[in-house]
Every structure is written in C-alpha cells, then in structure tokens.
Amino acid sequence: MMTALEEYLRTSFHPDCDFIDGEAMERNVGTKKHSYAQGEIASWFNRRKELLKLQALLELRVEVGLGRIRIADVVVCDIPLPDEEVFASPFYLAVEVMSPDDTISAMQDRLDDYLEFGILNIWVIDPWKHRGWHITAEGWAGATSFMGTTDGRVSLPLAEVLLP
C-alpha cells in the first residue's frame, strides 16, 4: 500500500501542489505579473550561469522536511546540479514571487520551512509593488532596487525582471 507521500510524488497536479503533513495544498499562481517575474528571474540567472556558476529551475519540488514538500517558484543551484529529481538537500537560493492572494502568514510558513531546511538565501518578490525582501532567521529585509545574496555573489536589479 502506498503512503500519502508516495501517492503525491506519483501524481501530476496543474499547477503543482505543496505537500504538507499528508495533504496536497494548492498554491497561488497563474497571473501575468507572477508568471513574467518568475520566468525573467530564471532567465536572468541562466544567462549568467557561466559567470555565477549557478543554474535556475522553475517550480521544483523540494523535500524541506519529513512529510513536507514545497514547490519553490525559482530554485537557484550551484553547478553541477544535484542528482535528485526532488531536491532533498539545501540549495543556493529559493525565490518566491507573490501572488495577489498570498497572505503574509502562509508565506511565512513556507519561508520557515526553507529556513529550517537550511537554505541561506531566500527572496520574496512582489511584482505589483516592485519590491522584494531578503529573508533570514532574523526577519525580512526590504529592497526596492536590487536583490542580493548573503555572500555578495548575486545582485539582481528588480527592474530587469518585473513588468513596468
């Protein structure tokens, strides 16, 4: 008999769902500004992959803990990519693009999973307000022009990845 997690991993959802404590949970996606930002962020990284030695992937399943799988909007990994279909080890950067229906509370639950998983660089980007936040265990640090990483390796201009 399959466990709920095994069944989830064998199921295709459109759009894909998180899996939290035995239950598939819908995510807020599908708007033009969200999709544009998500695609442009991944493209920005992938155009610089030789320079940064980083590769961006879209909507990847990440096993952040026992019985917990999150679908990150953009995952940025060191090259070469891990040899895992569902990532089960921390990677360089997780990017979440806000949707109009996202709540701070639900977003914080997602971010807490990433922090507990061991991801050191986490960004939340709001394509409607043209701003972003770098997330650490200490809280949210706002940015309106550039998104940076803790080690200074990346400085992404928000104007290059958001619709005007």
- CA dist 134 → 14, 24, 92, 107 (Å): 29, 27, 13, 13
With bands split at pLDDT 50, 70 and 90, how would you rate the model's confidence at 125?
Answer: very high
What's this model's pTM, rounded to 2 decimal places? Answer: 0.87
Say which CATH superfamily domain 15-160 falls into.
Answer: tt1808, chain A (3.90.1570.10)
Indicate whether 59 pLDDT > 90: no
Average pLDDT value for residue range 130-155: 94
**Any residues with CB less than 8 A from the CB of 150 and at least 6 apart, and which?**
120, 121, 134, 136
Query: Do strands 68-78 and 131-136 pair parallel, antiparallel, or not at all (unpaired)?
Result: unpaired
- In this structure, are residues 149 and 93 in contact, taking their beta carbons and an 8 Å threshold? yes
